[in-house]
Structure 1
């Protein structure tokens, strides 16, 4: 019987070492996801440390051309770290950032024109998408 008790205690102790700590309801309520898209350009947004920021930029189709996005980036990886990023063949771009520490960081992406039909010409313009995030 003593052997089983020790084995059970060892299993419980080992599980406590490898299992991630569960968030309390109060901690989980503080963390939130903030979504940003094309229409948020130029905004300033306040988030809390621990929040997730999801950027989803949609390509803008035109007549014989398509305005496509490059990968969203952060100006300060210490304040806002990027955990995932992707561009899609249709010109959309997505990224996920995590608010790491108090401070200010900009998230930026550029939109450029790509010809999609013969005989069309793109303007030589690049549009900047920029959102300032204040992490508290």
Structure 2
């Protein structure tokens, strides 16, 4: 019986040495997030989950010597959907990034205006998308 135990001893020592030389695990790991990309064609209600990112890209355009430009975007409830970044471009485009923080609903809005021509219509066109965030407080899943 002793001979059998001693025969397996080098294998056990080798496994122990291999395990002890393995790198230590990282103290944390970022969770994978989903990114929802929205353009001026988006409308209605979009579902997201806590931790998701929402990116908005609204493109300006020219039409009959008129320039249609976008305002910066806004979130109606920053406790639900926090704006992380907003950068309107000089050409009239706008980009924004939001993060879904908690269960609830928030509207993202922007306005499109006509510039550059006396033939521009008065007023603005409103762009609006509702983000419905599901999360830990959501029991309807």
TM-score under structure 1 normalisation?
A: 0.76
> Helix, strand or coil: the match of 2:41?
helix
Query: What aligned pairs does 1:48-127 form with structure 2 within 5 A after superposition?
Result: 48-115=49-116, 120-127=118-125
What is the count of residue pairs matched by the alignment? 110
Consecutive unaligned residues of structure 2, counting only runs of 5 or more, are 1-23, 135-141
Higher helix share: 1
| Superimposed CA distance per residue, residues 45-89 of structure 1 (whole angstroms, 9 cap, x where no aligned partner) | 000000000000001211121110000100000000000001111
Distance 1:60 1:126 in 2: 15
| 1:36 counterpart residue number | 38
Displacement of 1:43 in angstroms is 1.8
Structure with bigger gyration radius? 2
Structure 1 runs (4+) greater than 4 angstroms displaced: none
Consecutive unaligned residues of structure 1, counting only runs of 5 or more, are 1-11
